[in-house]
Chain A
């Protein structure tokens, strides 16, 4: 069954600290993996898109990694800010139009 699982479900960290969010997937055939940030009640905003051949991609303080062999991805946030409080969703695209969405990790940054 095609699935995307994220962990932890929620995370609370202090402003300025780093954190890493995990994504494991069983989606096949694989096309690309995306990370989105979604503020409460708003549409998701794309952070990164990685294809099979890409191991790391950065977008400012966000760095995503992909291990296509183990079917794992991570999103590392450096020097967290209060505005980073949001849900972070991992999405895997199959080699057609289908996108398989994870349930997200709810991140709360405390001052």
Chain B
């Protein structure tokens, strides 16, 4: 166990709906990154939060947004869901926003969009 938890574990939504995924980082970790992993592919970087501010973003549209709270837990929000948003969403926490320290991943939230 890495100490990183995510909720919910599974979720089914329909096209056009909105979804919020949650992540609790490992104790003391101030950096949280979110990834989207389609079946059979490697994770794709969505964005990273460091001390409550977004400090890096991958190639995802603005309907993917996030938050980090003072306790360093984080949310990923996706608006106007599309079928291609179906994937495993992973969050990872670390002590270092520059990526010099190990990232610890949560178990993921599997999202299915119908």
A97-B98, A101-B44 as given contacts; A44 in contact with B105, CB under 8 Å: yes
Least CB separation from A101: chain B residue = B42
Q: Is the CB of A102 within 8 A of B42?
A: yes
Given contacts A96-B56, A103-B42, A104-B42, are A41 and B2 in contact (CB under 8 A)? no
- Chain B residues within an 8 Å CB radius of A42: 107-108
Contact of B42 among A31, A45, A89, A93 (CB under 8 A): A89
- Contact (Cβ within 8 A) A41 B108: yes
| A59: min CB distance to chain B, Å | 11
Restricting to A45-102, which residues have a CB under 8 Å from any CB of B? 45-46, 49, 89, 91, 93, 96-99, 101-102
Whole-angstrom CA separation of A31 from B88 in the bound complex: 27
- Bin chain B's interface residue count: 20 to 34
CB interface residues, B 40-94, toward A, < 8 Å: 40-45, 48, 55-56, 58, 88, 90, 92
Interface residues of A in 33-47 (CB under 8 A from B): 41-46
Nearest residue (CB) in B for A4 is B42
Q: Decide: A43 and B102 in contact? CB cutoff 8 A.
A: no
Q: Which residues of B sit under 8 angstroms from A31, Cβ to Cβ?
A: 99-100
Is A22 an interface position by the 8 A CB rule? no
Q: Give the chain A neighbours of B88 by CB distance below 8 A.
A: 41
A98 to B98, CA, bound (A): 9
5 contacts between A and B (CB under 8 A): A41-B108, A42-B108, A43-B105, A98-B45, A98-B56
B interface residues, Cβ below 8 angstroms from A: 2, 4, 40-45, 48, 55-56, 58, 88, 90, 92, 97-100, 102-108, 110
